[in-house]
Amino acid sequence: MMLGRLAARKAARGAFLCQRVHPTISALPARFQSTAAVEAEETIRAPPPSFEPKAGRKYEFFQDIEMTPEGVAVIRFDGPKSVNSISFDMSREARVMWENEIANNAEVKAVVFSSGKPGMFIAGADIFDLKAVENKQDLVGLIEEGMDFFQLMKDKKIPLVCAIDGPALGGGLEWTMWCDYRVASDSPKTKLGLPEVKLGLLPGFGGTQNLHELVGLQNAMDMMLTGKDVRPDKAKKMGLVDLVVASQSVESVAIQSAIDLATGKLKPKRKKKSLMNRLLEDNPIGQKLIWNQIDKMVAKNTNGNYPAPYSIIQCVQHGLANPATKYKNEREQFAKLAATPESEALIGIFDGMTQMKKHNFGKDAARPVNTVAVMGAGLMGAGIAQVTAEKGVTVLLKDRNDEAVGRGQSYMKGNWDKKLKRRRMTKFKHNIASSNVIGLTDDNPATPAHFARAGMVIEAVFEDLDLKRKIVADVESQTPDHCIFATNTSAIPIADIAQGAKRPENIIGMHYFSPVPSMPLLEIIPHEGTSDATKATAFEVGSKQGKTCIMVKDVPGFYVNRCLGPFLVEVSAVVRDGVKLEALDKALKNFGMPVGPVTLADEVGIDVTSHVAGFLSNADLGDRMGGGDISLMKDMIGKGWLGKKSGQGFYTYKGKKKTISPEVEAYVKGFVQQDLGLSEKEVQDRIVSRFVNEAAKCLEDDIIENPVVGDIGLVFGTGFAPFRGGPFRYLDQVGVGNYVDMMHGFADKYGPQFEPCQLLKDYAAAEKKFHSS
């Protein structure tokens, strides 16, 4: 069971075919003769020098162009990496290729953009190229070069068609919007979106201007401000694509469409707006209503901490009012955002997440797991069963009796029903997931036969060492030798659970966060004797369940809860020093946490929070758990004030608004020793520094392998302000030296719990950063 669930959940809530021209193509339809939107002040610069051809083909980022007999040039993206992206080199090569082979070639009557990598269209602009530009102002010119290419394409005045199979994201989707017709495959890999906002950026290849032309203002703002992607069927309904076909036919249908467009047989149909949308979007009063709604939503969701959504709004509004400078303004805004610390932090998170998708135990180290047994059908067990069954794995959900198993199954069904209702799951997938779960009890005679097939057992029972050891012994007697035993303990050392096991090398910790279906993080905790095969298998099962996995050392609290321990103690300390509960929540929300610590404790449960804090107080953290008094929460348990689940915690939960009752106020007052009149900044710094120092101490003690793991762990496990990028990037941004000085000041004022760890002092002395970029 974990702390930080709500916080993290919220946090956790951007080539061409060539031959002879078909005789029927003589004159192109008029619509392709029109000049595309050109900005008055934009000029096309001289083409860059040619590139050295790659061995066996002419281009590095494209397959050689093929021409159909009808004059359709098929250009297939196929860069050197597993994912196609629009790097500066790719964009320049596209221009060279176009000028050499298309621009003045009268035989080319239409172009189809496709991909040489099945299931991968274009993932967007190359994020690492964007990162590498030192002076972000230079991005204005670099993006302009890319835009020149789109203009060149349009200048040819022939039909441009895209065959989209796989992700078309960011700049990839923007590329398709410069074309006249889009055919998408119905593959589960195909998704269309502008996720730039998640990187603290905006769509800079014309997306802020071109998307609303296709899908309307409201849909466009929703896509750009949330960064969410759209599945092909929805994209078709919105007007973002023209056709959806099977993957294997996407290119041939695109070619046929290109021929039909060129001959005038096909005219792209733009989606008509409903009357309501016309009223809202096409007149100034309606637009005003839309902008008011959007402003409110953005203010609520960003708390003013994320600049990108505001720049996206600025770009769209500017473009509507000033068409002549719309693209120029867009790229200037893009460059400004790229220079912000928020964008640096969010790109750091993307990079970290990508790194966490891989392990280093070798490609074949993991064992295949087709059946997972989950012991314990409570909230954690049922959640683990749900995310496993959804991914097509057979789940054996076992508990003491039918009632317990039934409760777990109802929990899963409830969640799947909700997904079905919200169209996040099809009826077919709902049925498959449900049929993947087999409920079992201790006295069911079929249980041993089922367990004999299990490749992994995940235990999610009470935190009781003897019970867990007994389960290990039972499981070892019922399962094959290769079966892995994963424990979901949040507190008991894995080595203790493995003691006395017959196959300790198969034992590992898999620490999920509650509620499992919505929490993105999984801590994987090997003990000294865990084999690499077990580590790799746990990693692959966790990734398959949709979790971002971090490998951490077997110490009390592991990584995430260990950091939360000193944080919670400091929360009690500032209450003691006179900070009111609501002011405390507000201070941490203003720092960027998705919820304040008081709400967090209520959400997680006062009993659970108090247990974790109490457990860590008795562990090996010494002074770092000092300075506060967690009996503030302990005594609440006796009163039945368990948090949101009991309707009463620090807050009273009646109706929609939570309030602080006079009874709680009086109770908390009993703990207040003095009113220091702390400023909001000091409250933030006192609490956050305890958290950040513990993260650094975990790095010093090798509990986490590197700062990237540390950042991802706290952002995804606790909701640590994503725009700050995690504790290590935050330290880099404020300066480790400044932070150490601040902590020393607190240590003088409040005591040794604020003494910065040695690693922080070393980094401060050497003026080092945790991240190189």
Ligand X SMILES: C/C=C/C(=O)SCCNC(=O)CCNC(=O)[C@H](O)C(C)(C)COP(=O)(O)OP(=O)(O)OC[C@H]1O[C@@H](n2cnc3c(N)ncnc32)[C@H](O)[C@@H]1OP(=O)(O)O
Residue 401 binds ligand X, judged by CB under 6 A: no
The stretch near ligand X (CB under 6 A) out of 194-202, 418-426, 625-633, 763-771 is 194-202
The stretch near ligand X (CB under 6 A) out of 24-32, 120-128, 362-370, 668-676 is 120-128
3-state secondary structure 260-275: HHHHCCCCCCCCCCCH
**Per-residue mark of binding to ligand X, 78-97 (x: CB under 6 A):** ---xxx-x------------
The stretch near ligand X (CB under 6 A) out of 162-170, 307-315, 417-425, 463-471 is 162-170
The stretch near ligand X (CB under 6 A) out of 167-175, 232-240, 423-431, 485-493 is 167-175
Binder of ligand X out of 74, 102, 169, 541 (CB under 6 A): 169
Comparison of 92 and 511: residue with beta carbon closer to ligand X: 92
| Structure tokens given for 359 | 């392990």
Interatomic CA distance for residues 375 and 388, integer angstroms: 13
Question: Mutual orientation of helices 307-321 and 326-338 as an angle, nearest 10°?
Answer: 170
Comparison of 172 and 649: residue with beta carbon closer to ligand X: 172
* CA-wise closest residue to 349 among 728, 39, 640: 728
**Per-residue mark of binding to ligand X, 329-368 (x: CB under 6 A):** -------------------------x--x-----------
Binder of ligand X out of 167, 239, 596, 707 (CB under 6 A): 167
Residue 704 binds ligand X, judged by CB under 6 A: no
Comparison of 195 and 455: residue with beta carbon closer to ligand X: 195
Binder of ligand X out of 4, 159, 200, 204 (CB under 6 A): 204
Comparison of 202 and 731: residue with beta carbon closer to ligand X: 202
* CA-wise closest residue to 482 among 524, 450, 454: 454
Interatomic CA distance for residues 169 and 193, integer angstroms: 5
**Interacting residues of 47 by C-beta distance below 8 A, sequence separation 6+:** 95, 96, 99
Binder of ligand X out of 13, 128, 274, 417 (CB under 6 A): 128
Residue 124 binds ligand X, judged by CB under 6 A: yes
Binder of ligand X out of 159, 170, 565, 643 (CB under 6 A): 170
Binder of ligand X out of 66, 70, 180, 196 (CB under 6 A): 196
Comparison of 193 and 596: residue with beta carbon closer to ligand X: 193
Identify residues 11-50 at the interface with ligand X (CB under 6 A): 14
Q: How far is the CB of 623 from ligand X (least distance, A)?
A: 40
Binder of ligand X out of 79, 195, 239, 628 (CB under 6 A): 195
Interatomic CA distance for residues 241 and 192, integer angstroms: 9
Q: How many residues bind ligand X (CB under 6 A)?
A: 24
Q: How far is the CB of 178 from ligand X (least distance, A)?
A: 13
Q: How far is the CB of 308 from ligand X (least distance, A)?
A: 11
Interatomic CA distance for residues 602 and 643, integer angstroms: 4
Comparison of 123 and 162: residue with beta carbon closer to ligand X: 123
Q: How far is the CB of 582 from ligand X (least distance, A)?
A: 37
Q: How far is the CB of 151 from ligand X (least distance, A)?
A: 16
Q: How far is the CB of 28 from ligand X (least distance, A)?
A: 30
Q: Across the strands, what pairs with 168?
A: 122, 192
CB 553 within 8 A of CB 620: no
Interatomic CA distance for residues 182 and 141, integer angstroms: 28
Cα–Cα distances in Å, from 77 out to 91, 310, 340, 689, 772? 11, 33, 31, 47, 31
The stretch near ligand X (CB under 6 A) out of 163-171, 514-522, 658-666, 749-757 is 163-171
Please provide residue 169's backbone torsions phi and psi, each rounded to the nearest 5 degrees. Answer: -120, 155
Handedness of CA 596, 14, 231, 222 (dihedral sign): positive
Comparison of 150 and 416: residue with beta carbon closer to ligand X: 150
In this chain, which residue has its C-beta nearest to ligand X? 170
**CB atoms near residue 639 (< 10 Å):** 13
* CA-wise closest residue to 5 among 514, 384, 650: 514
Q: How far is the CB of 544 from ligand X (least distance, A)?
A: 12
Comparison of 207 and 504: residue with beta carbon closer to ligand X: 207
Q: How far is the CB of 86 from ligand X (least distance, A)?
A: 7
Active site residues: 523
Comparison of 113 and 691: residue with beta carbon closer to ligand X: 113
CB 508 within 8 A of CB 486: yes
Interatomic CA distance for residues 120 and 216, integer angstroms: 27
For tokens 């941004």, name the residue: 733
Q: How far is the CB of 121 from ligand X (least distance, A)?
A: 9
Handedness of CA 297, 303, 309, 314 (dihedral sign): positive
Helix (H) or strand (E) holding 523: strand 521-526
Give the HSE-up count for residue 471: Cα atoms under 13 Å, Cβ half-sphere: 28
| Structure tokens given for 384 | 């683990």
CB 247 within 8 A of CB 185: yes
CB 90 within 8 A of CB 126: yes
Binder of ligand X out of 175, 205, 559, 691 (CB under 6 A): 205
Comparison of 85 and 479: residue with beta carbon closer to ligand X: 85
- Pairing state between β 229-230 and 192-193: antiparallel
Q: How far is the CB of 203 from ligand X (least distance, A)?
A: 6
Q: How far apart are the first and last CA of the chain?
A: 34
**Per-residue mark of binding to ligand X, 290-329 (x: CB under 6 A):** ----------------------------------------
Q: How far is the CB of 506 from ligand X (least distance, A)?
A: 28
The stretch near ligand X (CB under 6 A) out of 201-209, 338-346, 369-377, 558-566 is 201-209
Residue 199 binds ligand X, judged by CB under 6 A: yes
Interatomic CA distance for residues 342 and 304, integer angstroms: 12
Interatomic CA distance for residues 212 and 196, integer angstroms: 16
Interatomic CA distance for residues 489 and 475, integer angstroms: 16
Comparison of 548 and 648: residue with beta carbon closer to ligand X: 548
Please provide residue 184's backbone torsions phi and psi, each rounded to the nearest 5 degrees. Answer: -115, 150
The stretch near ligand X (CB under 6 A) out of 155-163, 166-174, 413-421, 607-615 is 166-174
| Structure tokens given for 288 | 């005003």
Residue 126 binds ligand X, judged by CB under 6 A: yes
Please provide residue 428's backbone torsions phi and psi, each rounded to the nearest 5 degrees. Answer: -60, -50
Interatomic CA distance for residues 358 and 606, integer angstroms: 36
CB 172 within 8 A of CB 61: no
The stretch near ligand X (CB under 6 A) out of 98-106, 192-200, 283-291, 630-638 is 192-200
Q: How far is the CB of 77 from ligand X (least distance, A)?
A: 13
Q: Across the strands, what pairs with 372?
A: 395, 456
The stretch near ligand X (CB under 6 A) out of 30-38, 76-84, 404-412, 519-527 is 76-84
Provide the binding-site residues for ligand X, judged by CB under 6 A.
14, 81-83, 85, 123-128, 167, 169-171, 195-196, 199, 201, 203-205, 354, 357
